[in-house]
Every structure is written in C-alpha cells, then in structure tokens.
A and B are shown apart, each in its own frame.
Chain A
Amino acid sequence: DTGVSQNPRHKITKRGQNVTFRCDPISEHNRLYWYRQTLGQGPEFLTYFQNEAQLEKSRLLSDRFSAERPKGSFSTLEIQRTEQGDSAMYLCASSDKQGVTYEQYFGPGTRLTVT
C-alpha cells in the first residue's frame, strides 16, 4: 500500500455513458498525476496537477476527458460518452520533490471496461 487510493477499483460501463474516477493522493504530496495503461504496455501520462492547478495535459486527453483537483487534495477524472477504446487501467500517482530526484507513488488503479 503506497498511501494513494483510487475508487472504484473496477468499472464496467456501456458505450456512451459517463464515468468518474477518484484519486486520493498521499496527504503531504502537492503533485498529482493521471496515467492510462492498456494491456501489455507501460503507463502513459495523461495530466498533471500542482495543488489545484492543472499544468499539463497530454494529447491523449481528448475533449471527452476532464480532470479536476478542486481543493488541491483529491482528484477526479471524468470520461464523457465513453468509447470501447477507453477501456484501460487508469492510474493515479502523487509525488513530492525530494532533492533533485523524482519518485512517484502510484495507486492501485481503476480498471475501466466499456462494453
């Protein structure tokens, strides 16, 4: 247990429905990241928050995706009008700068299946 929690752990939805995932980072970490991982691949970066500010978004994050971190603590990732290609593991990570090194602590992920 890294201290990063994600809910739900699994989500099955029908194509066209909206889904929302939640991430609770390690409490003292002000940086939060979302990644997506498809089968057999390493995680791919989606977006980054420093406190409540969303400072970076990948081109993988289409207009149907939106992420928030309203109070600089937990974050939500919403996918609107889901498509089958959205089926993946969605991972959240948090970090705090330690010197000049960069370690991230990942949650267990939310596995999304779009039918």
Chain B
Amino acid sequence: DAKTTQPPSMDCAEGRAANLPCNHSTISGNEYVYWYRQIHSQGPQYIIHGLKNNETNEMASLIITEDRKSSTLILPHATLRDTAVYYCIVRVSIIKSTGGFKTIFGAGTRLFVKA
C-alpha cells in the first residue's frame, strides 16, 4: 500500500511548467512527502521532499496543501530530458529503529514532455 494516488500519465509542452499532482489523504502528521523520478533505464533520482511548507530547489518546487492531503510537484520549465516516471512517496518504513528504512514506491506518473 503506497498511500499515494497519482495520475498514470501526463503530457507537457517543452518550456512550459509541468504540474504533477499527488493525493495522500491518509498522510500522518510526521510523514514527509518525497518525490523521485526515473528516467528510462536509469535508477530513481531523488528530487525534493517536504513536510508542511512549500519547498524549492534547483530541480523543482513542491507545493503541499495546508491540510497536507495533497501536493504538487512543479517543474518550472520542462525540457525533453524531464520525460520520466515521477514517484510521489509518503511511506517510508523504518527498519528496526536502526535508522534504516525502505521506500515504498507506487506506480508513479509517466510524464511526456513534447516539443
């Protein structure tokens, strides 16, 4: 149970902002929202994470609603190289209080950036 709902696929025009939604209505108060992406035939790449405040880094912005039940990943100027599967994750299972954890991935959103 990945605890998130994402659309299976989305299109975006090159140069435009890509807004990827994620529904996580059962998120707990101390659970972070993480986003990873996976470009074809590569390993997943960490993008950004947040708890309740909006976050921005060099790759993307993360907007989390006030009730924390949903979030949106924003790629401000999508390029063809942003075509990938984007995973929204809120479930991180802690392993035996050692600091280790396992990330529970869902199916993600396949983003197609078109010229």
A residues bordering B, Cβ < 8 Å? 2, 4, 31, 33, 40-45, 48, 50, 55-56, 91-93, 95, 97, 101-109, 111
Contacts and interface: CB of A to CB of B under 8 A. Distances in A.
Interface stretch (B18-26, B60-68, B75-83, B103-111): B103-111
A42 B106 contact: yes
Place the interface of chain B in its size category. Answer: 20 to 34
A109 B43 contact: yes
B95 interface: yes
Interface string B31-54: 010100000011111100100000
Contacts of A103: 34, 46, 49
Interface in B66-102: 87, 92, 95-96, 98-102
Given A109-B43, A111-B41, A55 B107 contact: no
Contacts of A56: 95-96, 100, 102
